Amino acid sequence: MTLSTAWALIQLPRACAAVALQARTALDVLLCHETAGDYWTMKSGAVLTYDLEGAHLFGKEDTVDLVRNGAFTGNADLWTVPAAPWTYNTNKVDKDANGVTPLSQIIPGLIAGKMYKITCTISNYTVASVRVRIGGGNLSEAMEADGTFINYLFAGGANALLEFVPLDASRFSIDTISMVRVDEPFLLAKAGGAGTLEINSLS
């Protein structure tokens, strides 16, 4: 598996009961279950065996996008776009004024405690940041640059909302939003730069 500075889901080509992981480069590897939570550091060259406890499944992403109108094509229908601080602007939504009210959408069938992969594109960024959360759960890491961002988060049980929560001073545009469920068990990995993680499945 090729590593980068972004969290990525470890995936296996076949079902297995356990998996052995080894960092094959000079970079330490960070491992976690949620990008908003704590993580472990696997030192370069170290080997970690991860027991799947008979689940015979590892890092399977659903193919059904739960976000509706995530590209904002022609409108922002199905989204709650507060007049302050958000403005719909031709296939994207701008955070162009002061305010911290989230951009949000109700996600039918959201399951509290399940892991979801949320992808979005930030453009026209100038200052501050935005974070995402689902079901009122943990906020993601800050997104504070132009680019496509992927966050893996557990859904909270407070509501059924996908929310993008800005800072008061944040200025950016957002579009191309999607969200899929990730079946358990799962593990995420990243490194401080380009690297390789060797993955061996154990039956």
Same fold, 2-59+185-202 and 86-182: yes
Locate the domains of the chain by residue range. Answer: 2-59+185-202, 86-182
Task: Spell out the CATH class of 2-59+185-202.
Answer: mainly beta
**Stated pTM of the model:** 0.85
Arch. (CATH architecture) of 86-182:
Sandwich (2.60)
Measured CA to CA, the distance from residue 203 to residue 190 in angstroms comes to 25
Task: Specify the pLDDT at position 57.
Answer: 61
**Residue type present at position 13:** P
**Residue type present at position 16:** C
SS3 174: strand
Measured CA to CA, the distance from residue 25 to residue 36 in angstroms comes to 26
Task: Specify the pLDDT at position 201.
Answer: 76
Q: Using alpha carbons, select from 143, 173, 177, 161 the residue that is nearest to residue 7.
A: 143
Contact 10, 197 (CB under 8 A): yes
Mean pLDDT, contiguous 10-residue spans, the chain (203 residues):
85 76 84 82 84 68 93 97 95 97 97 94 98 96 95 94 98 98 83 83 71
**Backbone phi and psi for residue 180, each to the nearest 5 degrees, phi listed first:** -130, 155
